[in-house]
A and B are shown apart, each in its own frame.
Chain A
Amino acid sequence: MIERGHHDMGGLPAGKVERSEHDYVEWERRVDALMVLLSGIRGQKRMTVDELRKNVEAIGPDAYEQMSYYERWVTSITQTMIQRGVITTEELGRKMQEVQNRERDGAA
């Protein structure tokens, strides 16, 4: 199984193409923007599209299928930033707690 990446799906059987149009929501657009900015299309390169792809490919098959496109992207970009040492897992954890608490307080 491992010799064929889950993403490497050309030629495999699949159902009908659902011609859905997806209205991108803001957080997805921001993820896309993060990738444009970090991959240095208009400035300093902080990561490559190849790392984005590699880290998307590293998402396990079940998770890959359940996650939406930009959920995979934000996961991959975040992993890349950790791998590159731009952020640490600890920093991310603390920030996520902070944001979550802020949201809860804001909604109270």
Chain B
Amino acid sequence: MVQPSFKPGDRVAVRKAWPLGHIRTPHYIRGQVGSIERLCGSFPVPEELAQQRSGLPAQPLYRVRFLQREVWPDYRGGADDALEVEIFQHWLEPA
């Protein structure tokens, strides 16, 4: 069992990496900094499931909250507008 490294409120950065393969961490969020909204549970890794492998051990999956004005330099909306994305633990680092 992979232990969760993060808890709600923790500041995290999405890793700046652009490997090949099937990935569920969107391009636009890589390198961005946000905070953990909740731990969703642990799930087999989609990158591996896509290759007919088991995806085990399951990795903790988090919802991470980002401020829109920090993600998009030209964002023209509310200062508190937010974006929440599900990201697997192996894509996150402490910020």
- By secondary structure, the A interface counts as loop
Given contacts A4-B18, A10-B26, A10-B28, is CB(A53)–CB(B50) below 8 Å? yes
A84, closest chain B residue (CB): B52
Complex interface bits, A1-34 against B, C-beta within 8 A gives 1, otherwise 0: 0111100101100000000000000000000000
- In the bound complex, do residue B72 and residue A11 qualify as a contact, i.e. CB atoms below 8 Å apart? yes
Complex interface bits, B4-32 against A, C-beta within 8 A gives 1, otherwise 0: 00000000000000101011001111000
Give the interface size class of chain B. Answer: 10 to 19
A50: which of B20, B28, B29, B50 is its contact (CB, 8 Å)?
B50
Cα–Cα, bound, A8→B49 (Å) = 19
B55, closest chain A residue (CB): A50
Residues of A within 8 A of B51 (CB): 54
Residues of B within 8 A of A53 (CB): 22, 46, 50
Residues of B within 8 A of A83 (CB): 52
- In the bound complex, do residue B26 and residue A50 qualify as a contact, i.e. CB atoms below 8 Å apart? no
A-B contacts, 23 listed (Cβ < 8 Å)? A2-B20, A3-B18, A4-B18, A4-B27, A8-B23, A8-B26, A8-B27, A10-B27, A11-B28, A11-B72, A50-B22, A50-B46, A50-B50, A51-B49, A51-B52, A53-B22, A53-B46, A53-B50, A54-B50, A54-B51, A57-B22, A83-B52, A84-B52
